[in-house]
Amino acid sequence: MTAPLRRVVGRRVLAIGPAELAALFDRHARAVIDVGTGNGRPILLRAAAEPTTLAVGLDADAAAMAEASRRACRSPTKGGLPNALFLVAAAEALPEALQGRCDEVLVLFPWGSLLRGLTAGPPGPVAGQSGASPGSSDLVGGLAALLGADGRLTIMLSLTERDAGLGGVPASLSLATLKPMLAALEAARLDIIECREATRDEVLATGSSWAKRIRAGTSTRPAWLVRAIRRSVAGAG
Ligand SMILES: C[S@@+](CC[C@H](N)C(=O)[O-])C[C@H]1O[C@@H](n2cnc3c(N)ncnc32)[C@H](O)[C@@H]1O
């Protein structure tokens, strides 16, 4: 977690210092971050519904967040949202200044390296093998490190045989194929609250335009919901 901090404001990418970021977090009662936010719609919705929550969208692709960040930066009298912030970073190298600052981490319908890193399983030696397992990743560790005490992580994902060709991800989702991800969450000191198929209503409630477009949560494209909570220090073991 060593990447410099860069925020998106429309088509511009600007530096934001750790002190400025810390002050922004300190001014809000809670903070939610959506990693791989894409067009940032869920973040705009959250920021509008919860004015005392800092809603942060983060994506490796600054251009994807241009429109949402432009909207957020309007004057509040014209629908602007001063409690929404958009940051450019890769999920594999999250800025250190975000560590421990978030009450909620969302990862909604990830794709590409974000999806691969999530589903790869925990890093490090696997029982009965020497060395790290092939494809293992500590992306989940980086996500878990964003959470403060009692912080919660919500992941929604959808993957079917039709997505063959993505490479390095399971052919489809089930409790069995999600096992490496659940193991990575446990290894990152998170307790799994639930792991099950999501309903279409739950999918739509995320505000994800991508999920709506691909019809995630329908019988032809099931969606999976995983919720986890940061293990309390007493139970850290
Ligand atoms: C399928 S889109 C989903 C966007 C949004 N979460 C939604 O539900 O509408 C996946 C997003 O993940 C981002 N992404 C993929 N790999 C990433 C990575 N390693 N770090 C950060 N963002 C990543 C992509 O840039 C893209 O915006």
Domain boundaries, the chain: 1-98, 103-237
Matching CATH topology for 1-98 and 103-237? yes
Atom number in ligand 1 closest to CA 209: 9
Pairing of strands 223-230, 190-198: antiparallel
The answer for residues whose C-beta is within 8 angstroms of residue 12's C-beta and 6 or more apart is none
Q: What is the pLDDT of residue 164?
A: 72
Q: Is the CATH number 3.40.50.720 carried by domain 103-237? A: no
Query: From residue 10, how far is each of 5, 39, 42, 70 by CA, in Å?
Result: 16, 12, 17, 4
pLDDT at res. 201: 97
Residue 177 CB less than 6 A away from ligand 1:
no
pLDDT at 121: 85
The confidence score (pLDDT) of residue 99 equals 97
* Strand 30-35 with 102-108, pairing: parallel
Question: What pLDDT is recorded for position 134?
Answer: 55
Which pLDDT does position 56 carry in this prediction?
98
Q: How far apart are the first and last CA of the chain?
A: 24
What is residue 4's predicted lDDT score, i.e. its pLDDT? 78
Does residue 163's CB lie within 6 angstroms of at least one atom of ligand 1? no
Domain 1-98 belongs in CATH node 3.40.50.150: yes
From the CB of 36, is ligand 1 less than 6 Å away? yes
> What does pLDDT average to in each consecutive run of 10 residues of the chain (237 residues)?
84 96 97 98 98 98 98 96 98 96 98 93 64 71 97 96 80 92 96 97 97 95 97 65
pLDDT for 5: 93
> CA 11 to CA 186: how far, in whole Å?
38
Tokens of 100: 């421990």
